[in-house]
Structure 1
Amino acid sequence: MVCNRCVMVVRNEMEQLGFDVKEVKLGEVWLEGELSAAEKERVRERMISLGFDLIDDRKSRIIERIKGIIIDLVHHKEGQMRTNLSDLLSSELAYDYSYLSNLFSEVEGTTIEKYFIAQRIEKVKELLVYDELTLSEIAYRLNYSSVAYLSNQFRRVTGLTPSHFKRIGEVKRKPLDKI
């Protein structure tokens, strides 16, 4: 789940299936009690029909939590990062960052840092398309040290300058779950 609409859909579906939902966050659902094998299969089938998947093993849950924290940080808590990403993930997940980093790279085929950069660039694209903020304001909101650094990173990832991207618009944006 990568957006508030996804959270709402999952909550509604779980309640329609008759489960007592305690909380739904990006990538996670907390229920009262444990699910039987048959209930897990019903949930899996319903989620797959909606384009989601049921993640049941520990490593996959950790990966999804990493992604959820990064997505939340970049897309919902703009300008609120007061510590570096490695410290944030370690404290949130109670694992050593080197373990998290190795696990993420092994499973996803990319590093946490590259995933974080990809999320930030998608947010920059979104803000450029909206055309409500200057590049300086975007850099500040997304905790870039300078406009030049944002522009260089944007060009490295997309092959375009921010101003050129702004001219061509929304056609180059990606859904968050495809990053």
Structure 2
Amino acid sequence: MGILFVKNMVCSRCIMVVQNELEKLGFEFTNIKLGEVTLTRELNLDERNSLEAVLIPLGFEVIDDKKSRIIEKIKNIIIDLVHHQDNDVKNNLSDILGEKLNHDYNYLSNLFSEVEGTTIEKYFIAQKIEKIKELLVYDELSLSEIAIRLNYSSVAYLSNQFKKVTGLTPSHFKQIREEKRKPLDKV
């Protein structure tokens, strides 16, 4: 059994694209999730090169080194928390990451900052802001409901953070409705 870590595989469509390419190449896998593929066997060098040759033009990359894999796991956990779960979780992000990755949060935080040039917290906030933008554009939830869904302590706190990051208030953003959203892998 082999595990591949794939950079930029951050959404269900990404998973479908990678899955399709694996199937086209005849590689069998038992599980595929954000950033990670569990193959039924290890790939040899030629097979790995063939896979990389089809994934790279699609914006994906197979990750080899341990530090990059940890960074990608951190990003995928945050993306999953913000974009793919109803945030009933009241645990601290540091506790969640430490528990899921079996590393001390200080180590994860320092590694992330060193490699990405930003903090885990800023990355987490950026993902939350993108989710707020998405929910504002869909116009199905009130700002209060969005605040609750994303575990903000108040609408005022959400609004202040949104304005600090985007330069716009949520209501102004909602009015202009321009293409202000970024793809998750560009945040």
TM bin (shorter chain): over 0.9
Q: Which amino acid aligns with 1:168?
A: I
Give the match for residue 152 of structure 1. 160
TM-score, with structure 2 as normaliser: 0.93
5+ residue gaps, structure 2, are 1-8
Residue 72 (structure 1) aligned with residue 80 (structure 2): yes
SS state of the match for residue 60, structure 2? coil
TM-score normalised to the size of structure 1?
0.97
Q: CA RMSD in A?
A: 0.8
Q: Identity of paired residues, percent? A: 70
Counterpart code for 2:175: R
- Give the secondary structure class of the aligned counterpart of 2:15: helix
- Which protein has the bigger strand share? 2
Matched, 1:84 2:92: yes
CA distance in 2, matches of 1:145, 1:169: 26
Number of equivalenced pairs:
179
Matches within 5 A, 1:16-165: 16-165=24-173
Partner in structure 1 of residue 22 of structure 2: 14
Provide the C-alpha distance between the structure 1 equivalents of 2:183 and 2:137, rounded to a whole number of angstroms: 14
Return structure 1 stretches of 4+ with deviation > 3 angstroms. Answer: none
- Gaps of at least 5 residues in structure 1 are none
Shift of residue 135, structure 1, vs aligned partner: 0.2
1:14-49 superposed Cα distances (whole Å, 9 cap, x missing partner): 111111111111111110121111111111111012
Does structure 1 retain, via aligned residues, the 8 Å contact 2:90–2:151? no
- CA–CA distance in 2 between the matches of 1:68 and 1:48? 19
